Amino acid sequence: MPLIIDTQLPAARTLMEEGLVIKPHGHHSDRCLRIALVNLMPVKPDTELDFMRLMAQSAYPIELLLVNTASHSCRHTPAEHMARFYRTFHETIQSGPIHGVIITGAPLEFVKFENVDYWHEITGIFSYLRQHRTPTLYICWAAFAGLYFHHGIPMEILPTKISGVYHHRILSATDPLMHGIDDGFTIPHSRFASWNRRHLTADPQLRIIAESTDAGIYMAAHETYPEYYITGHGEYAPLTLDSEYRRDLFKGMQPSIPRNYYPDDNPGNPPVDTWHLTATRIMHNWIDTLAVNKH
Mark the ranges of the chain whose per-residue pLDDT is less than 50: none
What are the CB-based long-range contacts (under 8 Å, 24+) for 150-156? 150/126, 150/222, 150/227, 151/203, 151/205, 151/206, 153/195, 153/199, 153/200, 153/203, 154/195, 154/196, 154/199, 155/109, 155/113, 155/193, 155/194, 155/195, 156/193, 156/194, 156/195, 156/196
- 244 tagged catalytic: no
- 140 tagged catalytic: yes
- 235 tagged catalytic: yes
CA torsion sign for 217, 218, 223, 225 is positive
**Separation between Cα atoms, residue 282 and residue 87, nearest integer Å:** 27
Phi/psi-derived region of residue 264, left when phi > 0, alpha when psi is between -120 and 50, beta in every other case: left
Catalytic hit among 168, 222, 235, 284: 235
pLDDT for position 295? 64
Catalytic hit among 150, 189, 233, 284: 233
Tell me if 181 sits within 8 A of 278, measured CB to CB: yes
Task: Please name the residue ranges forming H helices in the chain.
Answer: 10-17, 44-55, 79-85, 89-94, 119-131, 141-151, 197-201, 240-250, 276-294
Catalytic hit among 109, 140, 211, 222: 140
pLDDT for position 124? 98
Global confidence as pTM: 0.96
Spell out the residues 6+ positions from residue 5 whose beta carbon is closer than 8 angstroms to its own: 11, 12, 22, 24, 25, 52, 63, 64
pLDDT for position 229? 98
